[in-house]
A = this chain, B = another copy of it.
Amino acid sequence: MNDLHINISIESSFYCKDPESTELGKKIVQVGIELMDQLGYEAFTFKKLGVEINSNESSIYRYFESKHAFLVYLVNWYWSWIEYKLVFATANIVSAEERLKKSIELLTEEVKEDSSFTFINEVLLCKIINTESSKAYYTIDVDKENEKGFYKTYKRVVQRVCDFVLEVNPQFKYPHMLISTIIEGAHHQNYFSKHLPALTDVEEGKNNIVEFYLKLTKSVLSL
């Protein structure tokens, strides 16, 4: 996959000026991810990012209209990337059950190596998604932003996996709840395992999280 040099295309509604179109734009995203990982969403500012990349706050505002918009961009990039991996991982697999299994694995495992086929460090991006992505939709402007399509990539991924669920068990009444519960759940569990271990059962070295959600899926769908 590393040799494909696919690039994730992001809709123009997620930026003012396409960051992929210039060196500065790529640097904003690349170093922006590193800095947000270090400081957390709240303490991250465009001013600090400007200093870090030897550029100017005002230049960054030409790419993203706000810090929130930058987060939304990252979240959509992440889901586009997951969608790509999902389509790739389930292509040519005959068994619907196997396709679902691969999907759940993909959605729940922690990304630990950077595929480095883009300027984005996927390991850090995933850490940010785990910790900060809910802030993209837990905002007073959700409804307005939902209308603008800010969460469409996420919804599309959920729908794809729902389709697999229904192939496996067409009678199942809660495919969306199941998949969004698993996605959000896995993000929480990854975070909890590092910071609030009393809320998990993660053991050193073992990937219990994937295991747990696979088991959950199997049992609730009677597989």
Contacts and interface: CB of A to CB of B under 8 A. Distances in A.
Contact of A196 (B155, B174, B200): B155
Contact of A222 (B146, B195, B219): B219
- Using C-beta atoms within 8 Å of the partner chain, give the interface range for chain A: 35 or more
B195 A146 contact: yes
A138 interface: yes
Interface in A137-167: 137-140, 142-143, 146, 151, 154-155, 158-159
A94 interface: no
Given A173-B212, A180-B200, 16 more contacts: A39-B140, A42-B140, A135-B138, A151-B196, A155-B198, A158-B199, A174-B212, A177-B185, A177-B202, A177-B208, A177-B209, A180-B192, A180-B199, A185-B185, A215-B220, A219-B220
A191 interface: yes
Contacts of A39: 140
A contacts with B: majority SS: helix
Number of copies: 2
A134 interface: yes
23 contacts: A42-B139, A42-B140, A43-B140, A134-B134, A134-B138, A137-B196, A138-B191, A151-B196, A158-B198, A174-B208, A174-B215, A177-B201, A177-B202, A177-B209, A178-B216, A180-B188, A180-B199, A181-B181, A181-B185, A181-B216, A184-B188, A219-B222, A220-B220
A170 interface: no
A159 B197 CA distance: 12
A189 interface: yes
Contacts of A174: 201, 208, 212, 215
A132 interface: yes
A176 interface: yes
A177 B215 CA distance: 12
Contacts of A131: 138
